[in-house]
Amino acid sequence: MYKLLLIYVFLLPSLTEPPTRSLPVLQTDTLPAKSATAMHFDSLGLTNIADVDSTIRVDLMYASPHNFTGRVLYDNLKEGYLHPDAAKALAAAQKELRKRKPGYSLIVYDATRPMSVQQKMWDVVKGTAKNIYVSNPARGGGLHNYGLAVDVSLVDPTGKPLPMGTEVDHLGYAAHINAEDALIQKGVITAQQRANRVLLRTVMKHAGFRTLPTEWWHFNFCSRQVAKQKYKLIK
Task: Write down the catalytic residue from 79, 167, 180, 215.
Answer: 215
Write the Ramachandran bin of 83: left for phi over 0, alpha for psi from -120 to 50, otherwise beta.
beta
- Kindly give, in sequence order, each residue whose CB lies less than 8 Å from that of residue 106, ignoring residues fewer than 6 positions away: 56, 57, 90, 93, 94, 97, 152, 153, 154, 155, 203
The answer on whether 151 is annotated among ligand-binding residues is: yes
What amino acid occupies position 89? A
In Å, the largest CA–CA distance within the chain is: 109
Cα–Cα distance for residue pair 149/142, rounded to 1 Å: 8
User: For 104, which DSSP code?
Assistant: -
Would residue 215 show up in a list of annotated catalytic residues for this protein?
A: yes
DSSP E strands, the chain = 47-48, 57-58, 81-82, 105-110, 149-155, 210-212, 215-220
Cα–Cα distance for residue pair 155/84, rounded to 1 Å: 24
Supply φ then ψ for residue 106, to 5 degrees: -75, 150
Using only C-alpha atoms, what is the Rg of the chain?
27
The answer on whether 83 is annotated among ligand-binding residues is: no
The answer on whether 218 is annotated among ligand-binding residues is: yes
Residue ranges for the known binding site for Zn(2+) are 144, 151, 218
Residue ranges for the known binding site are 144, 151, 218
What positions carry a catalytic annotation? 215
